[in-house]
Every structure is written in structure tokens, then in C-alpha cells.
Homo-oligomer: A and B are copies of this chain.
Amino acid sequence: MRVLDISEVVEQTGLRPSTLRYYEEIGLIKSIGRHGLRRQFAPQTLMQISLITLGKSAGFTLDEIAGMFGEDGQPDLPREDLQARADDLDKQIHDLTILSKALRHVANCSAPSHMECPKFQKLLRVVKRHKRG
């Protein structure tokens, strides 16, 4: 299994062929050659796509993600940038944790008005403070 047809990449990643072509068009991934018309992908690409998908779910734009890979398709960023991005992520994780808690709270709290429930308000205040800091 040295090279992959687009259909195999589709199968492994869950992305659609049009998406993969689009990603290639904007330079986010590369095909390694053609068999007739057909793009051939290196197995490496699968991992790269994992990273892309992961990055997307973290809220990065495709442009930002593209900026994280070097010419060779390997992650490539100055260390400080990576640290900074990781820090951002940790912030986001923190916020999401709060949201998750808030949701579970609302699911279980029998107060007539969540907006006026002290616990709920506290959760929201935490977020606000966080966003401003």
C-alpha cells in the first residue's frame, strides 16, 4: 500500500473527494503524482489530514492550518508560535469545560429561571473574566 487513490483517502478520512481536491487546490495537501488522470496520495497524507481536521475542530481556519505545515507537509512553526497556539487552545478548552458544565447544570437545575440561578451566573461570570483577561 505505497500510494493511495482518492477513494482510499476518502474512506480513511471521511472527507469527500471534492473536499480533498479543494484542499489540494489551496495548497493544504499535495498529491504525489497521477495515474492517468487520477491523483495518487502518499500514506503520510492521512496523518496530515488528521491534523487538519483536528485543527479545524479547534477553530483554526484552513489558512492558519496551512501556515503550520512546511513545504514537505510536515508541521513546521517556530517554537514560540506553537506554544502560543497551545496556550490559546488551553484557554479554549477551559471555556468549553465551563460550557459543558453550564449545560449539565441547566439539565439538572430545577430553578425556574436559569439566568437568575446563582450557580449559572457564576459560570458565566467566569467566562467573561476569562475573555477579558
Report if A26 contacts B (CB, 8 A).
no
In terms of DSSP, what is the predominant structure of the interface of chain A? helix
Given contacts A44-B115, A115-B74, contact A96 B98 (CB under 8 A): no
Query: 8 Å CB contacts to B: which residues of A16-73?
Result: 44, 47-48, 50-51, 53-55, 57-59, 73
Q: Within the assembled complex, what's the spacing in Å between the Cα atoms of A52 and B92?
A: 15
Return the CB mask of A118-132 against B: 1 if under 8 Å, else 0.
Answer: 000100100110010
Contact of A89 among B103, B124, B127 (CB under 8 A): B103
> Which B residues lie within 8 Å of A98 (CB)?
54
- A-B contacts, 7 of them at CB < 8 A, read A51-B124, A57-B92, A74-B115, A82-B107, A83-B107, A86-B107, A93-B93
